[in-house]
Amino acid sequence: MSRVRMTGRDGFAVRIETPGDHTVVFDEPEARGGTDTGPAPTGMLAAALAACTVDTLKFYADRKGWDLEGIEIAVETTYDGYRPSAYRIELDLPEHLDSEQTARLRVIAGKCPVHRALTDPVTIEIV
């Protein structure tokens, strides 16, 4: 379970405690009233999509014995106001992969759990 507790009124900075004893600080840019001490939550959503995509590809490639050394992924976010309305994932795959491997990896990229959470209906209950 992730837990958020507001500990001060310095802009919008919040400290998040996540499973595994990790702590992450989120904030908003100064232009939106924050102190820019951490990424905005919507920016971290794009980063989570990129990280999940690369992990999914690596997991798949490892099972196939394919070398993904040097893979790069960029996620471009389009906003409708402050709300993300579209993501564009740019895969920069190693040149030694053949066209069949590249095509398969493009399909696998769409199967990461964060991608699915963003594209499939998700239930959020507020209690």
Digitized pLDDT (tens) for each residue of the chain, 127 residues in all:
777 666 556 678 888 888 888 888 888 889 888 889 889 999 999 999 999 999 999 999 999 999 999 999 999 999 999 899 999 999 999 999 999 999 999 999 999 999 999 999 899 999 9
Burial of residue 49, with CB atoms counted within 10 A of its CB: 0-12 exposed, 13-18 middle, 19 or more buried: buried
Provide CATH 3.30.300.20 ranges for the chain: 41-119
Beta strands in the chain (DSSP E): 3-5, 14-18, 22-26, 72-80, 83-92
pLDDT at 5: 63
pLDDT at 117: 94
Superfamily of domain 41-119: K homology (KH) domain (3.30.300.20)
